[in-house]
């Protein structure tokens, strides 16, 4: 362990980082009133306690009022931020973790209809595709005030006791000045590279003069926009060298690409099914040629890749951000030689996609992340050992079994299939979604290490469950596709599940109708389009697959557009009938009630699932609580009331979780399980 490259210290000026793993800056949208309060602090402290060397807090903390928060950012332009950042910093310092912050002005990457309704400012009037605001072109008085704002915000962070900060220059105001695509200024701040960089160096100079020499200062920037007409890797190398030569900064934090569109953002921050560590060599090239402390992180999810990044000397600090969202104790497990226990980040990107919809960042399979003030990352042992029966091994059932076992209970699990996974196993049929199995595999391994008994190929009914004499029964039987949603011709449709499982072969001319808006229909469309069929994807929604969200939509579109899939929003599939070899689909618009027809040879539907609740209903009369959940206690994270077994000994507590209640998603099922079972 001592020789582990990841565990070697790194000294930057007066600061020694105790190892080489950092959280790169990421705004999980946990601030309250723009301030990093108790939850924000708890989130960072949990990771600090476990040994991460540096946490780059915030993500895009706003330096100016005309950089309003688009994803609940920290408001670094308010003096009130100082005591909150001080509390967070002191608490992390107690565990030997250095604390910095990312400051930014979002430029055009925000909206004018937020915060104070000021016009958005940039170096041109060009709109950013993702956020849609048409900016004003910065005037000299804007530039002067923005430089002051950066320096003021930096001074606040020094006053709060932080170790340093970085400014953001990929897709935000700073590099909107750098890029010929977004800088249309004339005069000292537009035109030549010198001029386009002028704003950056004036900001850095102003910050340095305010914070002094000891305070660490860096830039997180893109070294290649990867856009025709943008600045390329050669310019990026030149910018890197100038940053070093300026003597104003202490480290570089290298990014590659552009984030002004969803596909661009997804290439910068790759999701599941995309290559691991795609920009590491690029960052390594900059480090080698510039010879300066270099940080980098982009889809480095596993410790082996992180170790390689450091051992090979490509970079000095490696970011493992989503990896720490999935497992905040990653570093503790590395330090203690328990790497096999790390809960893997499966790249589902639920975390990041949620913040772009205005939600908080939650990890698809760690529901305690972002809920540190109510949900535990470490399960405490129970005072009394009880017998817990879990039925179903989808994500909810597996979490229930794991958490019950961590509490020291005797756990027996029934599963009708021959292997664990439920719907996750189905979604993982697509090569691109294979990483999803990490959600199940990690839990299965933990359960096996904790002595859980699994009975596969058993369709458990009341009799099997009661025969175990359980104290608690968790029904996690999931759901089955809804096949009864049409007014007529339900029997003529196949479901998305049929396609994914291989039970139905793709047709030649196919209508895929998506009501649920989750991954299933798009995945099925992908399978069908890849088989060479003509596909029309239709939904009554006004947007495609809203539950899939922005970055997760990217790989689907990249496949489906190439394969010439047609997309038809705002039309609802109403009924089907057969005419000879053809299926005739009646479709209708909610807006006009205009009816149309489609003639195809296959119709694939995704109407979500209906709960498989027979077992639950049959157990209810035998249970002590009739399946009832005390929602007030559930919400605050308190134990459910235990009702003593009746005289017959047959009484038990009964709960159901996940899609066995109603069609939701993986995170919901796992959260159901954690918050019920953590106190059993």
Task: Give 84 or 221: the residue with its C-beta nearer to ligand FMN.
Answer: 221
- Both tokens of 646, joined, read 């009746």
Instruction: Please report whether residue 303 would count as binding ligand SF4 according to CB under 6 A.
Output: no
Residues sharing a CB contact under 8 Å with residue 647, sequence separation 6 or more, in sequence order: none
Residues 559 and 525: their CA atoms lie apart, in Å, by 10
- Strand bridging mode 98-104 / 472-475: unpaired
279 backbone φψ class: left, alpha, beta (φ>0; ψ -120 to 50): alpha
Residue 481 site contact among ligand SF4, ligand FMN, none (CB < 5 to 8 Å, cut-off depends on kind): none
Is 346 a binder of ligand SF4 (CB under 6 A)? yes
**Binding-site partner at residue 320 among ligand SF4, ligand FMN, none, CB < 5 to 8 Å by type:** ligand FMN
Q: By C-beta, is 258 or 322 nearer to ligand FMN?
A: 322
Minimum CB separation of residue 382 from ligand SF4 in Å reads 27
Helices (H), 420-537: 423-427, 437-449, 462-467, 496-501, 519-530
Query: What minimum distance in Å lies between the beta carbon of 623 and ligand FMN?
Result: 40
Assess 56 for contact with ligand SF4 (CB under 6 A): no
Residues ≥6 apart with Cβ < 8 Å to 266: 274, 551, 554, 555
Tokens, residue 273: 């099914």
Q: Which is nearer to ligand FMN, 350 or 537 (CB)?
A: 350
With beta carbons less than 8 A apart as the criterion, state whether 64 and 118 touch: no
Query: Which residues does residue 104 pair with via DSSP β-bridges, in sequence order?
Result: 62
Least gap, CB of 426 to ligand FMN (angstroms): 26
- Residue among 363, 428, 447, 677 that touches ligand SF4 (CB under 6 A): 363
Query: Min. distance of Cβ 102 from ligand FMN in angstroms?
Result: 6
Q: How far is the CB of 328 from ligand FMN (least distance, A)?
A: 13
Cβ closest to ligand FMN, residue 21 vs residue 465: 21
Of 227 and 360, which CB lies nearer to ligand FMN in the complex structure?
Answer: 360
- Of 322, 329, 402, 425, the one binding ligand SF4 by CB under 6 A: 322
How far apart (Å, rounded) are the C-alpha atoms in residues 339 and 337? 6
By beta-carbon proximity to ligand SF4, the closer residue of 257 and 489 is 257
Stretch that binds ligand SF4, among 340-348, 484-492, 608-616, 617-625 (CB under 6 A): 340-348
Q: 44 or 158: whose CB is closer to ligand SF4?
A: 44
* Residue 355 binding result from ligand FMN, ligand SF4, none, given CB thresholds of 5 to 8 Å by partner type: ligand FMN
Say which DSSP state 366 is in: B
Q: Which is nearer to ligand SF4, 375 or 382 (CB)?
A: 375
Decide if residue 30 touches ligand SF4 (CB under 6 A): no
345 binds ligand SF4, rule: CB under 6 A = yes
Closest residue to bound ligand FMN by CB: 59
DSSP 582-650: EEEEEEE-TTT--EEEEEESEEEEE--EEE--HHHHHHGGGSSSTT---HHHHHHTPPPPPPPP-TTS-
Instruction: For residue 351, state whether it binds ligand SF4 (rule: CB under 6 A).
Output: yes
Identify which of residues 272 and 520 has a Cβ nearer to ligand SF4 in the complex: 272
Distance between CA atoms of 158 and 166, rounded to whole angstroms? 12
> Would you count residue 350 as binding ligand SF4 (CB under 6 A)?
yes
Stretch that binds ligand SF4, among 190-198, 349-357, 491-499, 589-597 (CB under 6 A): 349-357
CA distance 157 to 56: 12
Would you say 71 and 358 are in contact if contact means Cβ atoms under 8 Å apart?
yes
Inter-residue contact 518 to 543 (CB < 8 Å): no
Please state the closest distance from residue 266 (CB atom) to ligand SF4, in A: 12
Specify whether the CB–CB gap between 388 and 411 falls below 8 A: yes
Residue numbers of the site for ligand FMN (CB under 6 A)?
24-28, 59-60, 102, 168, 220, 269, 297-300, 319-323, 351-352, 355, 361
Asked if 349 interacts with ligand SF4 (CB under 6 A), we say yes
Structure tokens at 377: 């990352």
363 binds, among ligand SF4, ligand FMN, none (CB under 5 to 8 A by kind): ligand SF4
347 touching ligand SF4, by CB under 6 A: yes
Among 364, 472, 474, 615, binds ligand SF4 (CB under 6 A): 364
Neighbouring CB atoms inside 10 A of 641's CB total 11
According to CB under 6 A, which one of 342, 348, 368, 398 is a site residue for ligand SF4?
Answer: 348
- The reply to whether 75 sits near ligand SF4 by the rule CB under 6 A is no
Query: Look-up: residue for tokens 């990867």?
Result: 226
Closest CB 300 distance from ligand FMN, rounded Å: 5
The CA distance from 319 to 673, in Å, is 30
For the chain, the first-to-last Cα distance in angstroms comes to: 37
Q: Give how far Cα 290 sits from Cα of 57, 232, 484, 600, Å.
A: 26, 16, 63, 60
Q: How far apart are CA 180 and CA 162, in angstroms?
A: 34
Q: Which residues bind ligand SF4 (CB under 6 A)?
A: 322, 325-326, 345-351, 363-365
């Amino acid at each position: 362990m001592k020789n582990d490259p990841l565990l070697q210290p790194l000294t930057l000026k007066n600061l020694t980082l105790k190892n080489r793993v950092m959280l790169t800056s990421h705004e999980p949208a946990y601030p309250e009133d723009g301030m990093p309060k108790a939850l924000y602090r708890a989130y960072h402290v949990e990771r600090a306690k476990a040994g991460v060397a540096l946490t780059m807090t915030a993500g895009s903390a706003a330096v100016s009022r005309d950089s309003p928060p688009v994803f609940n950012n920290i408001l670094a332009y308010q003096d009130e931020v100082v005591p909150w950042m001080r509390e967070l910093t002191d608490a992390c310092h107690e565990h030997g973790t250095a604390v910095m912050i990312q400051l930014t002005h979002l430029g055009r990457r925000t909206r004018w209809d937020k915060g104070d309704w000021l016009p958005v400012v940039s170096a041109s009037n060009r709109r950013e595709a993702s956020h849609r605001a048409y900016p004003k072109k910065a005037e000299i008085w804007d530039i002067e005030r923005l430089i002051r704002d950066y320096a003021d915000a930096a001074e606040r962070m020094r006053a709060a006791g932080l170790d340093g900060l970085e400014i953001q220059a990929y897709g935000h105001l700073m590099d909107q000045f750098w890029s010929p695509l977004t800088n249309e200024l004339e005069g000292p701040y537009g035109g030549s590279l010198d001029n386009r960089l002028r704003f950056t160096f004036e900001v850095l100079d102003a910050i340095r003069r305010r914070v002094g020499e000891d305070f660490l200062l860096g830039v997180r920037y893109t070294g290649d926009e990867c856009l025709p007409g943008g600045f390329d890797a050669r310019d990026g190398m030149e910018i890197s060298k100038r940053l070093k030569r300026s003597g104003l900064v202490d480290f570089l934090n290298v990014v590659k690409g552009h984030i002004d569109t969803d596909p661009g953002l997804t290439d910068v921050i790759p999701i599941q099914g995309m290559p691991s560590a795609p920009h590491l060599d690029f960052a390594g090239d900059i480090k080698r040629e510039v010879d300066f402390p270099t940080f980098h992180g982009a889809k480095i999810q596993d410790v082996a890749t992180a170790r390689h990044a450091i051992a090979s000397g490509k970079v000095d600090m490696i970011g493992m951000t989503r990896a720490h969202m999935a497992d905040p104790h990653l570093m503790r497990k590395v330090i203690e030689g328990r790497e096999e226990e790390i809960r893997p980040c499966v790249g589902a990107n639920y975390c990041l996609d949620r913040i772009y919809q205005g939600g908080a960042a939650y990890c698809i399979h760690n529901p305690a992340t972002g809920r540190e003030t109510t949900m535990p990352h470490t399960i405490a042992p129970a005072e009394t050992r009880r017998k817990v029966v879990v039925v179903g091994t989808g994500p909810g059932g597996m979490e229930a079994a794991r958490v019950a076992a961590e509490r020291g209970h005797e756990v027996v699990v029934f599963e009708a299939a021959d292997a664990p996974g439920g719907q996750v196993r189905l979604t993982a049929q697509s090569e691109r979604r294979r990483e999803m199995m990490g959600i199940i595999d990690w839990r299965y391994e933990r359960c096996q290490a904790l002595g859980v008994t699994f009975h596969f190929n058993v369709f458990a009914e009341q009799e099997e469950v009661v025969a175990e004499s359980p104290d608690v029964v968790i029904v996690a039987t999931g759901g089955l596709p809804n096949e009864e949603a049409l007014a007529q011709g339900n029997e003529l449709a196949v479901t998305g599940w049929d396609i994914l499982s291989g039970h139905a072969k793709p047709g030649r001319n196919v209508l895929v109708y998506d009501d649920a808006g989750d991954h299933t229909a798009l995945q099925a469309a992908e399978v069908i389009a890849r088989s060479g069929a003509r596909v029309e994807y239709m939904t009554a929604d006004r947007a495609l697959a809203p539950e899939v969200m922005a970055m997760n939509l990217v790989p689907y579109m990249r496949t489906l557009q190439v394969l010439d899939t047609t997309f038809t929003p705002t039309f609802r599939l109403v009924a089907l009938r057969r005419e000879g070899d053809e299926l005739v689909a009646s479709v209708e618009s909610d807006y006009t009630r205009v009816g149309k027809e489609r003639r195809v040879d296959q119709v694939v539907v995704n109407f979500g699932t209906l709960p498989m609740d027979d077992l639950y209903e049959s157990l209810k009369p035998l249970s002590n609580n009739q399946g009832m959940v005390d929602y007030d206690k559930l919400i605050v994270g308190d134990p459910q009331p235990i009702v003593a077994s009746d005289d017959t000994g047959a009484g038990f507590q009964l709960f159901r979780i996940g899609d066995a209640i109603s069609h939701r998603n993986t995170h919901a099922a796992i959260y159901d399980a954690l918050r019920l079972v953590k106190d059993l």
